[in-house]
Structure 1
């Protein structure tokens, strides 16, 4: 891989990571409904 391609790849990785963090923050912002609901259904 050339230096330029590597840089572009790393940039993409950064953006993907940012999206994941935002999704996590949104999920956390909704409260225990998202995670708690899944855990409860898992126990049944």
Structure 2
């Protein structure tokens, strides 16, 4: 870098990643992963509707 050159240097452009060809096993794994994520989202939605678990809070003894 010479003293006349100032400012930031532009980063070199990275080559675009080539798209991989997916075989049947890869497609099956991606499909299974999507189904699991969908199931988790449904379970979270159900859990939010029900509220907190237990609901008892702090238990008090019968003594005064």
Q: TM-score per shorter chain, which class? A: 0.5 to 0.7
- Size of the aligned set, in residue pairs, is 36
TM-score if structure 2 supplies the norm length?
A: 0.46
Consecutive aligned runs of 4 or more in structure 1 exceeding 2 Å deviation? none
CA RMSD of aligned residues (A): 2.3
Larger Cα Rg: Structure 1 or Structure 2? Answer: 2
Structure 1 stretches lacking a partner, 5+ long? none
Structure 2 stretches lacking a partner, 5+ long? 1-21, 59-64
Counterpart in the other structure of 1:3: 23
DSSP 3-state at the match of 1:16: helix
Q: Which has the higher helix share?
A: 1
